[in-house]
Homo-oligomer: A and B are copies of this chain.
Amino acid sequence: MTKANELTASAAQAAIRAGDLTSRQLIDACLDHTQQRDDDVGAWIYLNPEMARAAADEADRIISAGEATGPLHGIPVGLKDIIDTKDMPTEQGSDLFKGRRPVTDSTMTRLLRDAGAIIMGKTVTTEYALTAAGKTRNPHNPDHTPGGSSSGSAAAVADQQIPLSIGSQTGGSMIRPASFCGVHGFKPTFGTISRAGMHPLARPLDHPGIYARSLEDIALMGDVLMSKDPLDLDMRGHPKANLVEAVSKGAVETPPRIAFVKGPMWEAAEPYMGALFEDIVKKLGSTAREVEMAGIFDDALNCHSTIMLANIVANLGDYIRDTPDKVHKETIRRVAQGNGIAAEDYVKAIEFSDTVDAAVDHMFEHCDVIITPAAPGEAPKHVEGTGNAIFQKLWTLTGVPTLTLPKLQGPNGLPIGIQVIGRFGQDATLFRNAMWIENAL
């Protein structure tokens, strides 16, 4: 029999509404499993079982009373610990913010609560969502990294401790951990999920995202979170994404034109990745083919680095100047990389990023969806760090929506994701194309 914590959010939601499961049973199963696994996985920086159980009891009371419920009613979720919660600490993975209690919820937290979700706790993040790793290990093998920076969010969902969680990506922090941990990850179009109440790392690049164990679950949470918020000045005027509707329609009917790209990222790919993707392209059939990336993309990775590092200095520089002993030496090393950047080069990078945007958009005139690895290969050993973000940077820079599908395995038996990339603002279409690809494999 399937344990409640193993259910997807959609299945659990259906069972709760049918009276076959209570939110309390679900929360209890999740908390019990978390307790058993926590020493090995270490996905959580803050858990409050009592508060979660009380919230579940209240959710069950609402169901019994026949009161109105939201789309995530009684479902436990985890939030990366850079996302403010008024009833739990939010420490940014740092010593400096140890014990910090925000006064208000972030917009994401508020939207989740309004939808009926239960915030089960805060998941481990690298310090300030940069590279200094926390305690989390890969649930498939504790010698390996879960990836970063959204380490705990990806690991907790992969390990069936919760069905849904939120992470964020400024370099490659959503899609890479999903690949390493073997879950679905979604980085939506830039500016579609509010970052109000989330610690900023690089405002032009910061994307919140979603982890789940099915596309259906991501759609369920996506429709809740992708809501315009005047508190985030970079929100775009996209209409609601309607991901649930897209997923309910199923895969696109006509086989999509699929472009497999290697690009300048491929230099970092493990030797075994070539054969894995040759096989994928073959399986996807006659509408899939390898497409060479134009020369302009060679400079896109540097452009991403210039923008990210300059913003990191602006956002974290004062912490190091004021309290150097409370900042991890790895964070200090990364911030130092941004110290010498001239404003002139930053302005040129911002300008160039518009050209890269146009070049990516141009690619979509000749294909419907782009695929590429979600990581250079399997998760590296924990001691080697959280892995390389090179396969995400271009799509973070250009803000296009990306999904990763946990479809591949490396030589050590660890998961690897297929990254599926859509056109800017066309998140719903990306889901239907991703469903086609999942079906074809």
CB distance from A117 to the nearest CB of B (A): 30
Number of identical protomers: 2
5 contacts between A and B (CB under 8 A): A203-B351, A306-B343, A311-B347, A314-B348, A341-B342
| Category for how many chain A residues contact B | 20 to 34
Residue from A313, A338, A341, A342 whose CB has the most chain B CB atoms within 10 Å: A342
In contact, A310 and B344 (Cβ under 8 angstroms): yes
Contact of A343 among B203, B233, B310 (CB under 8 A): B310
Tell me the residues in window 280-333 of chain A with beta carbons closer than 8 Å to chain B beta carbons: 306, 309-311, 313-314, 317
Query: Do B348 and A344 touch (CB < 8 A)?
Result: no
Q: Does B344 lie within 8 Å of A345, measured CB to CB?
A: no
* A311 CB contacts on chain B under 8 angstroms: 347
Tell me, rounded to whole Å, the shortest Cβ–Cβ distance linking A177 to chain B: 26
**4 other A-B residue contacts (CB within 8 Å) besides A306-B343, A317-B344, A343-B345:** A310-B343, A338-B343, A341-B342, A343-B346
* Chain B hits for A233, CB < 8 A: 354
4 closest pairs, A vs B, by CB? Answer: A310-B343, A314-B347, A343-B346, A341-B343
Residues of chain B contacted by A345 (CB below 8 angstroms): 314, 343
Cα distance, A233 to B355, chains bound together (Å): 11
Do B310 and A346 have beta carbons less than 8 Å apart? yes
Residues of B within 8 A of A342 (CB): 313, 339, 341-343
> What 0/1 pattern do residues 198 to 238 of A give for CB contact below 8 A with B?
00000100000000000000000000000000000100010
Q: How far is the CA of A345 from the CA of B237 in the complex (A)?
A: 29
A346 to B343, CA, bound (A): 6
Q: Per-residue 0/1 for A226-252: is the Cβ within 8 Å of any B Cβ (1 yes, 0 no)?
A: 000000010001000000000000000
Most chain B CB within a 10 A radius of its CB, from A306, A313, A343, A351:
A343
| A314 CA / B347 CA spacing, docked (Å) | 6
Contact of A310 among B314, B338, B347 (CB under 8 A): B347
A339 to chain B: which residues have CB within 8 Å? Answer: 342, 344
Tell whether, in the assembled complex, residue B343 and residue A313 are in contact, meaning their CB atoms are under 8 Å apart. yes
What residues of B have a CB within 8 angstroms of the CB of A347 in the complex?
A: 310-311, 313-314, 346
Measured between beta carbons, the chain B residues less than 8 angstroms from A313 are: 342-344, 347
A346 CB contacts on chain B under 8 angstroms: 310, 343, 346-347
